Amino acid sequence: MQQYGFIGLGIMGSAMARNLITAGYQVTLWNRNPEKCRELEALGAMVANSPARVAAHCHITFAMLADPAAARAVCFGEEGVLAGMTTGKGYVDFSTVDAATSQEIGAAITAKGGRFLEAPVSGSRKPAEDGTLIILTAGERTLYDEALPCLEKLGKKILYLGEGGNGAKMKLVVNMIMGGMMANLCEGLALGAKAGLVPAELLDILESGAVANPLFRLKGGNILAGNFAPAFPLKHMQKDLRLAVELGDRLGQPLPCAAAVNERFKEAKKEGFGEEDFSALYKTVS
Query: Footprint of ligand NAP on residues 5-24 (CB under 6 A)?
Result: 8-13
With CB atoms as reference, the residue minimizing the distance to ligand NAP is 10
The answer to whether residue 173 forms part of the interface with ligand NAP (CB under 6 A) is no
CA distance 277 to 171: 19
Considering only 55, 66, 186, 245, the residue that binds ligand NAP (CB under 6 A) is 66
8 A C-beta contact, residue 36 and residue 61: no
The answer to whether residue 170 forms part of the interface with ligand NAP (CB under 6 A) is no
Polymer length in residues for the chain: 286
CB 13, min distance to ligand NAP, A: 5
**Which span sits near ligand NAP by CB under 6 A: 70-78, 162-170, 181-189, 219-227?**
70-78
8 A C-beta contact, residue 187 and residue 285: yes
| Helical H segments across 5-138, by residue range | 11-22, 38-41, 51-57, 68-76, 81-84, 99-111, 125-130
CA distance 64 to 244: 19
Cβ burial, residue 100 (10 Å; 0-12/13-18/19+): middle
Query: Footprint of ligand NAP on residues 178-217 (CB under 6 A)?
Result: none
**Which span sits near ligand NAP by CB under 6 A: 19-27, 156-164, 214-222, 229-237?**
229-237
The answer to whether residue 61 forms part of the interface with ligand NAP (CB under 6 A) is no
**Which span sits near ligand NAP by CB under 6 A: 32-40, 136-144, 183-191, 264-272?**
32-40
**217, containing H or E segment:** helix 214-225
Q: In 10 A of CB 125, how many CB atoms?
A: 16
Exactly one of 89, 171, 219, 269 is catalytic; name it. 171
**Which span sits near ligand NAP by CB under 6 A: 41-49, 65-73, 183-191, 246-254?**
65-73
The answer to whether residue 231 forms part of the interface with ligand NAP (CB under 6 A) is yes
Considering only 95, 137, 166, 238, the residue that binds ligand NAP (CB under 6 A) is 95
- The residue among 68 and 114 lying less far from ligand NAP, judged by its C-beta, is 68
Q: In 10 A of CB 190, how many CB atoms?
A: 17
Close Cβ partners of 160 (under 8 Å, ≥ 6 residues apart): 137, 138, 141, 144
The answer to whether residue 159 forms part of the interface with ligand NAP (CB under 6 A) is no
- Give 82's DSSP letter: H
171 annotated active-site = yes
Using CB under 6 A, count the residues that bind ligand NAP: 27
- The residue among 64 and 85 lying less far from ligand NAP, judged by its C-beta, is 64
Report how far apart, in Å, the C-alpha atoms of 236 and of each of 15, 78, 123, 141, 182 are: 17, 25, 13, 28, 14
- The residue among 58 and 74 lying less far from ligand NAP, judged by its C-beta, is 74
Q: Which residues bind ligand NAP (CB under 6 A)?
A: 8-13, 31-33, 36, 64-67, 69-70, 73-74, 95-96, 121, 124-125, 231-233, 236
Known catalytic residues are 171
